[in-house]
């Protein structure tokens, strides 16, 4: 009898180890961090959620205007357009509008139209927008959705998308309850006070935020850094993230098949599932991919090595800050905009919206801390790059994205890719540029996942 009990215990232990070894290779394991300026206090954590409203003062605006008035223009080269960076002559026009016509108080009212909150997590005051649907028809499911921004964007990127998601979908089966947090060090979230705060740390904080709001399961959406943070969220707790929707993805581990697709894809496109659009955006590879990345990623090298040096200058100069940020909203929307005198800035965005995003960086004083996020994420190869994503994933492929990603490359990382949509237009800041297209694709993706969940 004793032998049988011992044998049963051993068999049970072996089965437990086998099952957990089989289940857990796709789960990212990390430990809690503490990022506050003071040491972690003993005792119970403060989980209070506090309302937050943005405001300004005459003093803040006077200081801004004084700095703008003291800028020293540098003439651009003849016929350089935006090929050397932000065209100086057009920058003067933007600054003139900012100084004389832009109404920050009016934009603050626009920002405050949605409920804002702060709560302390891991020593940091985390800011977030939380919008609940005002109308929920009978039989309609309310689905929580966290949307995470990137650089040099902010929570404000989602302001055109939020009203489209918080109204019942055409099918009438579900509606979204949207949470848009600011990554710590961005916008109105407190910046980390200690080294090492990367995307995984942000993902852990956002998991804690969603649980604090009462959500044990939710969907996640992201582009730019939001892609990596939400991907890490799916890797940390795949059973908590019901579905993941992305509009940006970077191959973190090229592998043999991706390498072969690059070498042979233009000759044997069907072998790798390449479309005409894929071929157009990938070849000739040296020019279309490597050339563009070299031309457009100089900022990344600066921010991944010495963010505090450049950040100090940008934190002191509103004109420099605007040029640095708005140049990305030109070229990353369409590389063809480099050949325009005005950078095509107002072809897809209003100047008020662009300057509102700049003002969030300026008034929060967060440009340096936002740039540090690059150093923390790019200084080594973290474990999450080797872990596939197993939650249902949807991908919106916008043709003018800074780094074009064909379906084959997305599938390598995201093993349950249930939708891949080739968008008719749009670039890097898709949620802000094409909110209608984005809303339609999120609804389509969630409808697929919800039908799969129902069918189980």
Positions marked active-site = 224, 374, 428
**At a CB cut-off of 8 Å and minimum separation 6, what does 286 contact?**
none
- Decide: 198 and 382 in contact? Cβ < 8 Å: yes
Q: What tokens does 335 get?
A: 């590389």
Task: State the Rg of the chain over Cα.
Answer: 23
Pairing of strands 116-121, 49-52: antiparallel
Q: What are phi and psi of 74, to 5 degrees?
A: -125, 120
Q: Could you give the C-alpha distances from 347 to 23, 88, 236, in angstroms and in order? A: 49, 19, 39
CA atoms within 13 Å, Cβ hemisphere of 354:
25
d(CA 225, CA 428): 11
């Amino acid at each position: 009898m004793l032998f049988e009990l011992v044998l049963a215990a051993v068999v049970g232990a072996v089965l437990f180890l086998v099952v957990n070894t089989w289940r857990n290779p796709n789960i990212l394991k990390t430990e809690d961090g503490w990022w506050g300026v003071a040491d972690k206090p003993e005792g119970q954590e403060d989980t209070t959620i506090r309302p937050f409203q943005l405001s300004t003062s005459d003093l803040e605006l006077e200081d801004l205007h004084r700095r703008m008035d003291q800028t020293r223009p540098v003439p651009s080269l003849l016929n350089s357009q935006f090929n050397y960076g932000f065209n100086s002559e057009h920058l003067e026009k933007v600054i003139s509008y900012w100084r004389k016509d832009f109404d920050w108080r009016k934009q603050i009212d626009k920002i405050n139209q949605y409920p804002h909150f702060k709560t302390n997590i891991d020593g940091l005051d985390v800011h977030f927008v939380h919008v609940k649907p005002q109308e929920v028809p009978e039989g309609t499911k309310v689905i929580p959705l966290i949307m995470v921004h990137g650089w040099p964007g902010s929570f404000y990127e989602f302001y055109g998308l939020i009203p489209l998601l918080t109204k019942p979908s055409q099918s009438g089966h579900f509606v979204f309850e949207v949470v848009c947090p600011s990554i710590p060090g961005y916008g109105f979230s407190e910046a980390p006070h200690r080294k090492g705060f990367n995307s995984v740390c942000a993902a852990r904080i956002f998991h804690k935020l969603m649980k604090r709001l009462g959500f044990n399961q939710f969907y996640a959406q992201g582009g730019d850094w939001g892609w990596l943070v939400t991907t890490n969220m799916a890797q940390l707790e795949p059973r908590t993230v019901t579905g993941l929707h992305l509009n940006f993805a970077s191959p973190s581990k090229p592998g043999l098949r991706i390498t072969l697709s690059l070498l042979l894809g233009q000759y044997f496109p069907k072998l790798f599932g390449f479309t005409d659009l894929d071929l157009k955006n990938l070849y000739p590879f040296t020019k279309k991919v490597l050339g563009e990345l070299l031309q457009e990623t100089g900022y990344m090298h600066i921010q991944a090595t010495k963010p505090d040096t450049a950040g100090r200058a940008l934190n002191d100069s509103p004109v420099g800050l605007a040029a640095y940020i708005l140049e990305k909203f030109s070229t990353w929307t369409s590389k063809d905009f480099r050949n325009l005198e005005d950078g095509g800035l107002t072809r897809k965005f209003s100047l008020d919206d662009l300057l509102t995003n700049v003002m969030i960086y300026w008034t929060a004083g967060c440009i340096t801390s936002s740039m540090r996020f690059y150093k923390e994420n790019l200084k080594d190869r973290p474990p999450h790059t080797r872990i596939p994503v197993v939650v249902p994933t949807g991908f919106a492929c916008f043709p003018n994205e800074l780094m074009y990603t064909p379906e084959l490359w997305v599938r390598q990382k995201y093993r349950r890719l249930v939708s891949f949509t080739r968008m008719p237009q749009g670039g890097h800041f898709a949620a802000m540029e094409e909110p209608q297209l984005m809303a339609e694709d999120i609804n389509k993706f969630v409808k697929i996942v919800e039908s799969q969940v129902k069918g189980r």
